[in-house]
Amino acid sequence: MIELVNITKKYPGTVALDNVTVSFDKGRVHALIGKNGAGKSTLVKILAGVIKRTSGRILIDGKEVNFHSPGDAFKNGIASVHQELSLVGEMTVAENILLGRLPQRKILGKSVINWPSVFSKSKEVLDRLNISLDVRKKASELSVAQQQIVEIAKAMSFEPSALLFDEPTSALAHKETRQLFDFIKQLAKSGTVIIYITHRLGELCEIADTVTVLRDGRCIGTTEMDETTPRRIVEMMFGEIVQKQRPREVVACGESVMEVVDLSKKDEFSDINFTLRKGEVLGIAGMLGSGRTELLKAVFGAKPFETGLIKIKDQFVDSATPRKMKKLGLAFTSENRKEEGLILIHSIRNNMCMAGLDRLSVKGLITKIRENKAVYKLIDRLQIKVSDIEDAVESLSGGNQQKVAVGNWLNTRPDILLLDEPTRGIDVQAKQQIFQIIWDLSKEGISSIVVSSELEELIEVCHRILVMKNGRIINEVMPEDVSTDELFLMCMSSEKT
């Protein structure tokens, strides 16, 4: 049993946790939820030894413990799977799973790494998770979903008695999520303490036994999952929340702002054709590996395409680069904000101004006054929770980091916004805020292309949805004509309907 008693964590200008008391029994899955900035990740990082509490006590089986590092937590049987990936890109899957604990052997009296044992032991861990992955492959060559699986495998390699999950399914496909849930339930039955953070309220009925809600750093309460409802949980998280729908006045006019013609790249996507209209919110649905992200990066010039062309503002582009596409009014936010969207050790201000420096500078000189004005305007518009814009962006919650990544590109005043999983790791309220921003931009005539694994979000926010499968567009639907289940079946289908 793990008990957290009166845990408080203070930062300059803010209280992240305020006298939080909660306990976690073995053999059960405990969900820990709350809106962005509620203190969930802070609480888990304290328990994992990543950060130190300001005050309060941690008890394991009634005995008080003090963690000064993750190593101390490991020694007490606590392992974590954090929301932000922490793999070493140039190391193999096997090396990442056993990082810091690579098996060794003696050769001529010297200790050397036992590579056959490294690969076999890491494969055993993956086999227990029922995951097929090449352990000799570099982590940098994996998709975000595969990297998330390696993170989970790394934690499992410690054979912990308590396992902390921070948004583990944010990058996983439906099948992979089911496999993870089955494995978590098996761990719980074997006596492992499971603490599970998620923004996906739909997961709670499938995985959680109890739910603890944090709000603004305080513990609102703990309830048994079979004694509550999703509506009650949302009320505990936010109070009353109004679910927004796309306003009727958010319409796309007939004017074309971008045409993609016969775009192809071997092994990634082929024969891609579509038109984007002024003010339109165009969704792209598909399973992981369908080519959605690769297509979006190719349109922005972050990845080369081999054949085809893109027409923007009567200009034909047959070889795109980010610099060229940015000048043509395109902006792009990546699904992997940590690696591709933010510089975590830099300030919030710097991260929100990077893409728009040319617009914010005066005769080539950067002025902090102009930067601050633009940053505070976006912080207010996106409702980003910050104490000081000079704080490192890594100090923010995952959801607020995502808003900073979006705000960075809004500073360029784009005509076309490409959004890859814009609501990944964001709570219900923050999602509604992001949707409202997209709709407001649409009213101003700014077009958006939205890629999301959350199919119900595409139906809610978009004017039109393209369905991708195996690198091809196999269908085009209107949100009002399709249900989430029907859209999911289309994504699984291999033929155009």
For residues 307 and 425, membership in a common domain is answered with: yes
Nearest to 31 by CA among 181, 191, 156, 198: 198
Model pLDDT, residue 492: 67
264 & 297 share domain: yes
Residue 247 lies in a domain: no
3-state secondary structure 197-250: ECCCHHHHHHHCCEEEEEECCEEEEEEEHHHCCHHHHHHHHHCCCCCCCCCCCC
Q: Which of 215, 239, 235, 237 is nearest to 18 (CA)?
A: 215
H or E stretch at 43: helix 40-47
- 3-state SS class at 167: coil
Give me the mean pLDDT over the 284-303 stretch. Answer: 89
Question: 265 and 234, same structural domain?
Answer: no
Picking from 391, 193, 420, 185, the residue whose alpha carbon sits closest to that of residue 302 is 420
Domain for residue 330, yes or no? yes
Q: Which residues contact 18 (CB under 8 A, 6 or more apart)?
A: 8, 216, 217, 218
Considering the domain architecture, whether residues 223 and 289 belong to the same structural domain is answered as no
Please say which residue of 238, 266, 296 terminates a domain.
238
Task: Find the domain containing 315 and state its range.
Answer: 256-492
Is residue 246 situated within a structural domain?
Answer: no
pLDDT score of 114 = 92
Same domain, 186 and 230: yes
Instruction: Report CA-CA distances (Å) from 427 to 75, 90, 400, 404, 445.
Output: 33, 32, 10, 15, 27
Question: Which of 275, 292, 265, 324 lies closest to 450 in space, CA to CA?
Answer: 292
Considering the domain architecture, whether residues 454 and 313 belong to the same structural domain is answered as: yes
Position 124 in a domain: yes
- CATH number at 50 reads 3.40.50.300
> Considering the domain boundaries, does residue 248 fall inside one?
no
Across 76-80, 82-86, 99-103, 343-347, least confident range = 82-86
Q: Report the sign of the C-alpha dihedral through residues 450, 453, 455, 456, in that order.
A: negative
User: pLDDT tens for residues 351-405?
Assistant: 999 888 888 887 778 788 888 998 999 898 888 888 889 999 988 877 788 889 9
Q: Is the pLDDT of residue 86 over 90?
A: no
Q: How many domains is the chain built from?
A: 2
Residues 214-259 have pLDDT tens digits of: 988 899 999 999 888 877 887 787 665 555 566 666 667 778 999 9
Where does a domain end: 209, 238, 267? 238
Same domain, 193 and 137: yes
Q: Percent of the chain at pLDDT above 70?
A: 93
Structural Rg of the chain based on CA atoms: 23
Predicted TM-score (pTM) of the model is 0.61
**Helix/strand/coil for 176:** helix
How many residues in total does the chain contain?
497
Same domain? For 321 and 204 the reply is no
From 212, 238, 264, give the residue that closes a domain: 238
- The tokens describing 275, both together, are 């038109």
What is the predicted pLDDT for the residue at 245? 62
Identify the H or E element spanning 19.
Answer: strand 14-24
Q: Is residue 379 part of a domain?
A: yes
Residue 465 CB: number of other CB atoms within 10 A? 25
